Structure formats: C-alpha cells, structure tokens
C-alpha cells in the first residue's frame, strides 16, 4: 500500500466566465458550441504537483482567488479536474462551505446520520459517536430542529463535529471556521491538532497564519492558481507575507489594480483607499522608525460618490495577522463630497518592540466598505538612545512595557524543609 494519502500530478481546473450550468435544448447546445471559442476562460488551478504522506498535516495559503478552494473541491471529489490526475487513498471528510452536505428540511439528528453515510461510515459507528458529536457542536437543545432554522455558526459547529468525530482518514477544512465564535474556533483547532497527532492526514486552508504555523509543519502557497512554494511552514509563510506587503517605496500606491488583486478584500465603488506612508521626523516617507519615536501614518482616499458618513480604521498587526492595536477616526460629522482627502494617524507612545509589522486599513460607511488587510509593512528599529529604560536587553513579545521589581526579601519559615545542596 502506498505511503501517500494524496498524490497530485499536473492538476488543472479551467472555468468559462459567464457560463451557466443548465440542461440545454439541442438548439442551446448548438448555439453554445458555436460561441464557445468567444468566451473568456480562466485557469483557477494549473500544473499543480505534490504528494502528502499519510498522517501529514499541510496548510494551504494564498490570497483570495488563488485557487485554494478549487483545489480542495477537486480533492474532495466535488469538482472534476480539467486536466491532470489525483489519487486519494482513504475516506475523506471535508468541510468547505457552510451547510455543505446538509439537507435544510431535515433535523440536526438526521443530518448527522446523512453526513456520516456520505462519508462512508457504518450506521453503528455514527450511533456510537452521536452523543460526542452533539456535545462538541453544543446544539443539544436544537438537535431535533430542522437545520434550515440554524444560524450559520450552528451549521458550522455541527458540520465540523461530524467531519472530525467520524474519524476520516483525511480531514479537509476550508476557512469556514471563521464563521464560528472565538471559543469554538479554539475548540476546532484543538480537535484538528488531536486528529493530526492521531496519525490522520489534515489539509487546512486558512488566512490565519498563526493557526497555520501551529497546526501544520508543512505549507503550500498557491498564487494565481499555481504553486508558488511548498516546504516548511515557517519558510513558506514568511515568503507569502513578504509578497502581500510592499516596501519597494515608502509610499504605497493602494489604487494599483495588481496590488489590489493580491491584498485588497473589496473593490469599493464609492470610497477607496489610494495611498499610505509612514512619516519620519521631517515628514519624509520612511520604511523604518526607531522604537522610541512616534509612528505617524499619512493616508489618502478618494470619494467617488458623496457619502453621508464615514469611519476610518488603522490597525497595526504582526506579520502573522495578530492585531496589536487599532486607531478609530470616529464618524466624520459632515457629508463628504466627491474628491480626494488626506489625513494623519499618530501613535505617540506605541511601545512596539523592534520587528516587522503590517498595517490594515478599513473605510466603513460606504457600501461596500474598502478593506486592505495588508496595506503596508514597516519596521520598528531598536531605539537610538535607551533613556530611562531599566532593561537594556532585547524584548521578546510584541510590546515593550516598563516594569519594576521590588528588592529581594529574606523569608524565614519553619513550615518548609531546609534547603539542601
């Protein structure tokens, strides 16, 4: 028997833009055949080659539209490939979209058995694990309620519980865990780690680089449908993060279409970020600031259609995506007419330790809002002068906070054994 759980050779998936799936008449079929060459085509995945060993945990990362979900759908046998070959050994449990595999008119209880059957599990095994599944999903009160009345979070909890507890040989999980609350996300990550250490194969897609680093020793980075890098997680994540932020110029052009396809979450119509810069002591754009100097960011945005109110957020994050702190502009009192606007956001006492950081920008109030998760990367350098700092070594952690230790006091006690040695 092969030691590989998944083998992929020359895998590709092509989509025709604007194509609708239907049951055509002969006339429709002939018409489609005549016009097929005129349609725009896009390769969501192209020339993918990799192997995943039994019991291996692999993270799949990449920007929105990179081909991650397409890959998982092919591996889960939901979507056929256009070219290439896939060999999957063992039962596959997949959680790709909210409600996938659930029948809305059936109860939670019925859907547990339905999902188990789809995964190829015997009824006796499903029955043996049923109580554990329901308890994990925390839906005991609603287990006999039709799932069409479930919230998206309840859908995800029950679907994940089924996929993880019925012990598939391969567990495939997409970013749908983001739908659950923070407590359940931690619970899911713990269960996935248990599955991984139990010798089963895990394929995990996430934008949470911290979770990817924790759960998966190996990572595959997809970029525009092709494998950009495959290797140790720390190395691949670092390369990916460096690709999503730009430091070629101290002023980042956020209106660049190529950049937006990589780092922009929404293509806003009414309000759109245009640029961001970190300013030095003489208002010059810089890429690095000493840790004992204020951080001043100058941002520019364009208003394409008048908006009645607008709120701006500037978030500083670690490269792994951990939020360190956020600045909120408050709601601007007056309506904004068409035009270009600029403002500055200053952190006088940021206390960031030396290292690399990322800025996220959010313009909220227009529909849709404009979000740029990785607008720029900047560096906090060691302080030029360490004045009034009691600790002169290097800081570990994200923030630098001064502290004071009290003098040692000798303690005499008859209740403890005398020190030996």
In the block, which residue shows the tokens 């070219």? 83
Residue 368: asked if its preceding bond is cis (omega within 30°), the reply is yes
Taking alpha carbons only, the member of 288, 318, 314 closest to residue 378 is: 288
**Same domain, yes or no, for 364 and 327?**
yes
**Same domain, yes or no, for 196 and 58?**
yes
Nearest-angstrom CA–CA distance, 193 and 213: 12
Answer for the pair 163, 93: CB distance below 8 angstroms, yes or no: yes
Task: Kindly state whether residue 395 falls inside one of the protein's structural domains.
Answer: no
For the question of whether the overall pTM of this predicted structure is more than 0.75, the answer is no
Task: Kindly state whether residue 394 falls inside one of the protein's structural domains.
Answer: no
Give the residue, 176 or 313, on which the prediction is more confident.
313
**Same domain, yes or no, for 200 and 256?**
no
Domain count, the chain: 2
**Same domain, yes or no, for 70 and 188?**
yes
| Domain of residue 228, CATH code | 3.40.50.300
Mean of the pLDDT values across residues 347-367? 86
Domain boundary among 348, 364, 381: 381
E strand spans, 193-286: 201-205, 218-223, 226-232, 251-253, 271-279, 285-286
- Does the structure show a pLDDT above 90 at 220? yes
| Domain of residue 288, CATH code | 2.70.50.60
Give the residue, 18 or 363, on which the prediction is more confident.
363
Give the residue, 49 or 333, on which the prediction is more confident.
49
Give the range among 65-74, 134-143, 186-195, 283-292 with minimum mean pLDDT: 186-195
**Same domain, yes or no, for 218 and 153?**
yes
Structure tokens at 421: 């040695």
Domain boundary among 217, 242, 267: 242
Mean of the pLDDT values across residues 75-80? 89
Task: Kindly state whether residue 20 falls inside one of the protein's structural domains.
Answer: no
**Same domain, yes or no, for 233 and 338?**
no
Order the strands of the 41-53 sheet from edge to edge.
41-53, 4-16, 83-88
**Same domain, yes or no, for 232 and 260?**
no
What is the model's pLDDT at position 261? 56
Task: Kindly state whether residue 39 falls inside one of the protein's structural domains.
Answer: no
Over residues 302-333, the pLDDT tens digits come to 998 888 888 899 999 988 778 899 999 887 77
**Same domain, yes or no, for 225 and 364?**
no
Domain boundary among 242, 271, 288: 242
What is the model's pLDDT at position 181? 66
Nearest-angstrom CA–CA distance, 251 and 262: 17
**Same domain, yes or no, for 310 and 173?**
no
- Does the structure show a pLDDT above 90 at 87? yes
**Same domain, yes or no, for 150 and 218?**
yes
Task: Kindly state whether residue 399 falls inside one of the protein's structural domains.
Answer: no
Task: Kindly state whether residue 138 falls inside one of the protein's structural domains.
Answer: yes
Q: Which residue range(s) make up the domain with 166?
A: 4-11+47-242
Distances (CA, A) of 37 to 17, 18, 29, 32, 41: 12, 13, 14, 9, 9
Task: Kindly state whether residue 191 falls inside one of the protein's structural domains.
Answer: yes
Task: Kindly state whether residue 390 falls inside one of the protein's structural domains.
Answer: no
Half-sphere exposure of 78 (CA within 13 A, CB side): 17
pLDDT band for 30, please (50, 70, 90 cuts).
low
**Same domain, yes or no, for 53 and 172?**
yes
**Same domain, yes or no, for 67 and 123?**
yes
Mean of the pLDDT values across residues 279-293? 88
């Amino acid at each position: 028997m092969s030691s590989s759980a998944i083998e992929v050779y020359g895998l590709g998936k092509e989509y025709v833009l604007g194509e609708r799936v239907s049951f055509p008449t002969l006339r429709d079929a002939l018409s489609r055949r005549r016009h097929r060459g005129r349609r725009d085509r896009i390769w969501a995945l192209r020339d993918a080659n990799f192997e995943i060993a039994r019991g291996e945990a692999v993270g799949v990362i990449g920007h929105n539209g990179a081909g991650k979900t397409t890959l998982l759908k092919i591996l889960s046998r939901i979507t056929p490939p256009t070219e290439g070959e896939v060999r999957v050994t063992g039962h596959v449990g997949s959680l790709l979209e909210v409600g996938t595999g659930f029948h809305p008119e059936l109860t939670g209880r019925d859907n547990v058995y339905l999902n188990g059957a789809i995964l190829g599990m015997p009824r006796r095994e499903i029955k043996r694990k049923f109580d554990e599944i329901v308890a994990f999903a925390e839906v005991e009160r609603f287990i006999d309620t039709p799932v069409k009345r479930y919230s998206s979070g309840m859908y995800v909890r029950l679907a994940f519980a089924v996929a993880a507890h019925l012990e598939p040989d391969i567990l495939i999980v997409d970013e749908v865990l983001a739908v659950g609350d923070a407590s359940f996300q931690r619970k899911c990550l713990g269960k996935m780690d248990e599955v991984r250490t139990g010798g089963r194969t895990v394929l995990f897609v996430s934008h949470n680089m911290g979770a990817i680093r924790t759960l998966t020793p190996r990572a595959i980075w997809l970029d525009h449908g092709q494998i950009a890098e495959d290797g140790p997680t720390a190395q691949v994540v670092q390369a990916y993060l460096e690709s999503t932020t730009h430091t070629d110029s101290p002023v980042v052009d956020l209106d660049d279409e190529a950049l937006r396809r990589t780092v922009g979450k929404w293509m806003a119509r009414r309000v759109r970020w245009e640029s961001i810069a970190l300013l030095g002591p003489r208002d010059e754009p810089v890429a690095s600031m000493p840790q004992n100097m204020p951080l001043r960011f100058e941002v520019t945005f364009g208003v394409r259609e008048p908006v009645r109110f607008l709120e701006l957020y500037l978030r500083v994050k670690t490269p792994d995506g951990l939020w360190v702190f956020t600045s909120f502009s408050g709601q601007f009192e007056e309506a904004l007419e068409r035009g270009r606007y600029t403002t500055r956001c200053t952190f006088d006492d940021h206390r960031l330790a030396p290292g690399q950081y990322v800025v996220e920008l959010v313009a909220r109030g227009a529909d849709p809002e404009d979000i740029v998760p990785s607008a720029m990367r900047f560096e906090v350098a060691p302080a030029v002068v360490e004045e009034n700092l009691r600790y002169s070594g290097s800081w570990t952690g994200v923030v630098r906070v001064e502290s004071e230790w009290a003098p040692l006091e000798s303690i005499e006690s008859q209740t403890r054994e005398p020190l030996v040695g």
